[in-house]
Structure 1
Amino acid sequence: MHTSTKVQPRTFFGQPMALAYLSFTEAWERFSYYGMTSILVLYMSQALLTPGHVEGIVGFTSFRAALESVFGSMTTLALASQIMGLYTGLVYFTPVLGGWVADRWIGRRTAVMLGAVMMSAGHLAMAFDASFLLALFLLITGCGLLKGNISTQVGELYAETDGEGRTRAFAIFSVGINVGAVLGPLLVGLLAQLYGWHAGFGLAGALMLIGLITYIAGFRYLPADRPRATPTVTKAPLDRRQWRIVVALGLVSAITIFQSIGYYQNTNMNLVWINRSVDLDLLGFHVPVAWFNSIDPLASILGVPVLLALWRFQAARGSEPDDLGKIGTGAWLTMLANLLLVTACLISARANVLFPIIYDILLGIGFLYYWPTLLALVSRAAPAKLKATLMGAVFLTLFVSNTIIGWLGGFYEHMTPAGFWAMHAGIAATGGVLAFVLKRPLKRALEIT
């Protein structure tokens, strides 16, 4: 008697195999990005923008004049903060355009690959003073093509009705982000301390190429690109219900701007504060400042299984927070993290190293509450014809947040450190208040039960 055994498809922690390749691609991309950003503001303020170096940057005189025509005259530190804010903001603005280009012309697969190539070239260009502005352009453009589209591919692995599956997938996907975010500052920061700034930037570029190879290796598992419209095809306009959902998603996304300001300042002025005001000597070793940017993503990695278990426990008892509740919780945790730095500043002019460590742990858990939840909500609720564009638009909130962060960094030299971090605690708390006040009308608009 002949019996046949059905071969079960391979899975990745019970999820489609495509999620593994997308997560590892994102991990390598985040490795290079967070590694580079962990040293960027210190590199600019301590080396690149100082006399003897700044003159060698091609086109920088005109670039600085343009910035100061908008933001006014800036010190070296304020200029470094503003460039940092604009750069980190623009790498999240361009996914709006990247999603639009992919939806209408080149498809998501091509967009992700082209973006990875441009980002690799940008990181390598960052290894030289003269090509600094070219490097920023390549990184910003490449990120626009990669970011929104790869997140959209994660959402397309699941049925529209599988909200729980999508939320778990984006939580796993965020682990890939955070693995790269942990390793990037550790290795790039150490390499920069031992061998110089440009060695760190060069490593970031090489590892971005590995991300491209990983993505290509997983091609056979990836969801097929949705057929693109031709000029002869007229898409039906959005109906009233769909427009209501789009507006509601925009409002939810806007709420997260406040906690993002409180969160992402840890890659800008927080590194300057640590460098100036925290005792970094440990057993004869001077801890690289960049290493602190590995703590919050590590907290997010370790927190994923704990939070998933907590949410399953709460769901079984009917008490799991809904999407707006989780986003609000993320805001309150971000507020607490910034209040901790206020306490550190008030206790001593030279803070104990435990304060920034606990600060980053709180930020990492807060991130898990609000950011994967927002991505899953948009992926699930957005009208199909605008899904990639709206996923890109989610990253527009980070453009606004980081641009404001760069501007706020200019106040650091004119405020006490305690006042500076208290301001950020208040900003994060605003997001928590708005999530609470607008919870019911937004749930109705988004048809969340």
Structure 2
Amino acid sequence: MSTADAPAIPALEYQSDRAFLGHPRGLGYLSFAEAWERFSYYGMATLLALYGKYQLFQPGHIERIWGFGGFRAMLEGHYGPLSPLTMGGAIAGLYGGFVYLTPIAGGIIADRWIGRTRAVTIGAVLMAFGHFCMAFDQTFLIALACLLVGVGLFKGNIAAQVGDLYAPGDLRRADAFQIYMIGIQISVVAAPLVCGGLGQKVAWHFGFGAAGVGMLIGLIVYLSGRRWLPAEPARIAGSLAEPRPKLVAGEGKRIAVLALLVPVLAFTAVGNQQLFAAYELWGDAHYQLRFFGWEMPSTFLISFDAAMSFVTMVGSVAFWRWWATRRKEPDELTKLTIGSIIATLAPATLALASLHEAATGEKVSFAWAVAFHFFNDVGFANIFPVGLALYSRASPKAIGSTMMAVYYLNLFIAGLIVAQLATLLDRMSGFEFWGLHAVLMAAAVVVLLVVRGVAGRLLAPAIDPESPATA
């Protein structure tokens, strides 16, 4: 019997388990595995736009990429002529979006055929191979294809396993996803320092190779914790582990509301998703990054954001735990709305910074970067993990993995928006560019307020008095 086929512990045992920070120990294995996967992803994503601008899309390299002529023609047919700067930003934005489209197929494959564990395992192998393919100019498009398919099998399914550790009414679920995100943020701090530092200071391909090693470590961690993961509704050793659930009456309304929320959430994410596309390029050109004679690599902006995100994620978990001891804790949809309001202030900050730069002729002080990342990351802490918790809880069990992948579609749509916006970087002033982001995000906040008023009750949690958190 392979590690992937090893039987998981019974549901009641892992739902009552509190061995990992008051949560099931399976959360620890899933969090660390996802953290290493995110190390590999953000290590690669941090380098992608800059690598394209400074090397891959320059003469002498771009001609070596297998099949790139047709790919470039397709891009420029949509966006118009692209320089190495805007091509790097556009491809980074598209990649950052499409990694959240392929989980739809990955969720369907897991739900209907191979189960979540096999899907996650195959996905990890494909991603590791893709990262190593980034070490060669010729295999750039092959690398992107492997990474997109691999993320599709990995991303939604491992998140669905986090949700499956908890009973439907277990109030620890949202807290669990925030802890899950804290583990990720630690790796996101390290990834730009390790992969970005190697890529910018040593050689681009060393950075991509480090990302591949990180993915292999994540796979080992995941398989080592297989015993503590939720049981699969799939065939194990020729018999059903448990029957697959079916849709029941009334669940269609919830599915419809959750699906309609996806494009709204996409617009709340454009500020954060722009980090790996236009923001990194804009910061490279406009921030004052020299400190005491040392020039900070622009990839370190991503590590700074991740460090800030770690602090704000921990702070958010602590705040809502404190709030719950004194007042009724708001539901996920309310937290999403609060987070979106705060996140909108982030691009508004950069718009003001651009006005100051235009007025003074001096590069933007790093203090403006601190303000941008603070607002962005406080908002993110109350949007992304809370959205995961909402979709994990409110989605019908019959299509749990698929609906988690549907949630990730908001980041796919955001990636398409970000790619389109990134092509405007050299055509608009900084005030106009970042102001446009703020306006789009503010419009999404208005829609969220309407949805909360009209459909809030449909998505509200039902408290289970027998769940471990309420016992």
State the TM-score bracket (shorter-chain normalisation). over 0.9
Alignment counterpart, residue 421 of structure 1, candidates 431, 434, 439: 434
Deviation at 1:168, TM superposition (A): 0.9
Q: Is the CA contact 1:296–1:362 (under 8 Å) kept in the aligned structure 2?
A: no
Q: Residues 350 and 118 of structure 1: is their aligned pair in 2 closer, same or farther, counting only changes over 3 Å?
A: same
Q: Residues 401 and 52 of structure 1: is their aligned pair in 2 closer, same or farther, counting only changes over 3 Å?
A: same
Alignment counterpart, residue 241 of structure 1, candidates 250, 271, 274: 250
Residue number in structure 1 paired with 2:423? 410
Residue number in structure 2 paired with 1:171? 178
- Structure 2 residue matching 1:36: 3-state secondary structure: helix
Residue number in structure 2 paired with 1:295? 304
Q: Is the CA contact 1:298–1:364 (under 8 Å) kept in the aligned structure 2?
A: no
Q: What is the alpha-carbon distance in structure 1 between the residues aligned to residue 305 and residue 288 of structure 2?
A: 19
Deviation at 1:240, TM superposition (A): 4.6
Residue number in structure 2 paired with 1:115? 123
1:19 matched to 2:27: yes
Q: What is the alpha-carbon distance in structure 1 between the residues aligned to residue 116 and residue 330 of structure 2?
A: 33
Query: What amino acid does structure 2 have at the position aligned with 1:154?
Result: V
Alignment counterpart, residue 363 of structure 2, candidates 331, 335, 350: 350
- Superposed, 1:186-205 pairs within 5 Å as 186-205=193-212
Q: Residues 235 and 153 of structure 1: is their aligned pair in 2 closer, same or farther, counting only changes over 3 Å?
A: closer
Q: Residues 158 and 9 of structure 1: is their aligned pair in 2 closer, same or farther, counting only changes over 3 Å?
A: closer
Q: What is the alpha-carbon distance in structure 1 between the residues aligned to residue 106 and residue 373 of structure 2?
A: 31
Deviation at 1:139, TM superposition (A): 0.5
Query: What amino acid does structure 2 have at the position aligned with 1:124?
Result: F
Q: What is the alpha-carbon distance in structure 1 between the residues aligned to residue 167 and residue 18 of structure 2?
A: 19
Q: Is the CA contact 1:242–1:383 (under 8 Å) kept in the aligned structure 2?
A: yes
The TM-score, its normalising length taken from structure 1, stands at 0.93
Q: What is the alpha-carbon distance in structure 2 between the residues aligned to residue 213 and residue 280 of structure 1?
A: 38
Residue number in structure 2 paired with 1:325? 334
- Structure 2 residue matching 1:128: 3-state secondary structure: coil
1:43 matched to 2:56: no
1:160 matched to 2:168: yes
Q: Is the CA contact 1:116–1:212 (under 8 Å) kept in the aligned structure 2?
A: yes
Residue number in structure 2 paired with 1:32? 40
- Which stretch shifts more, 378-387 or 294-303? 294-303
Q: Is the CA contact 1:105–1:228 (under 8 Å) kept in the aligned structure 2?
A: no
Q: What is the alpha-carbon distance in structure 2 between the residues aligned to residue 236 and residue 182 of structure 1?
A: 39
- Superposed, 1:130-145 pairs within 5 Å as 130-145=138-153
Q: Is the CA contact 2:79–2:423 (under 8 Å) kept in the aligned structure 1?
A: no
- Superposed, 1:222-233 pairs within 5 Å as 222-227=229-234
Deviation at 1:379, TM superposition (A): 0.7
Q: What is the alpha-carbon distance in structure 2 between the residues aligned to residue 378 and residue 94 of structure 1?
A: 17
C-alpha offsets along residues 269-296 of structure 1, whole Å, 9 cap, x if unaligned? 1111111111111112110111111223
Alignment counterpart, residue 87 of structure 2, candidates 64, 79, 82: 79
Residue number in structure 2 paired with 1:69? 77
- Structure 2 residue matching 1:92: 3-state secondary structure: coil
Residue number in structure 1 paired with 2:114? 106
Deviation at 1:361, TM superposition (A): 2.3
Residue number in structure 1 paired with 2:6? none
Q: What is the alpha-carbon distance in structure 1 between the residues aligned to residue 215 and residue 167 of structure 2?
A: 31
Deviation at 1:238, TM superposition (A): 3.9
Deviation at 1:75, TM superposition (A): 2.7
Q: Is the CA contact 1:292–1:360 (under 8 Å) kept in the aligned structure 2?
A: no
1:313 matched to 2:322: yes
Unpaired runs of 5+ residues, structure 2, are: 1-15, 463-471
C-alpha offsets along residues 111-159 of structure 1, whole Å, 9 cap, x if unaligned? 1111000000101111111111010001000000000000000001010
- Superposed, 1:140-151 pairs within 5 Å as 140-151=148-159
State percent identity of aligned pairs. Answer: 40
Q: What is the alpha-carbon distance in structure 2 between the residues aligned to residue 184 and residue 286 of structure 1?
A: 19
The TM-score, its normalising length taken from structure 2, stands at 0.89
Q: What is the alpha-carbon distance in structure 2 between the residues aligned to residue 305 and residue 345 of structure 1?
A: 31
Alignment counterpart, residue 384 of structure 1, candidates 382, 397, 407: 397
Q: Is the CA contact 2:130–2:146 (under 8 Å) kept in the aligned structure 1?
A: yes
Query: What amino acid does structure 2 have at the position aligned with 1:353?
Result: F
Q: Residues 264 and 236 of structure 1: is their aligned pair in 2 closer, same or farther, counting only changes over 3 Å?
A: closer
Q: What is the alpha-carbon distance in structure 1 between the residues aligned to residue 232 and residue 248 of structure 2?
A: 25
CA RMSD of aligned residues (A): 2.0
- Structure 1 residue matching 2:100: 3-state secondary structure: helix
Deviation at 1:86, TM superposition (A): 1.6
User: What is the aligned residue count?
Assistant: 438
Deviation at 1:228, TM superposition (A): 6.2
Q: Is the CA contact 1:112–1:146 (under 8 Å) kept in the aligned structure 2?
A: yes
Residue number in structure 2 paired with 1:279? 288
- Structure 1 residue matching 2:195: 3-state secondary structure: helix
Q: Is the CA contact 1:253–1:374 (under 8 Å) kept in the aligned structure 2?
A: no
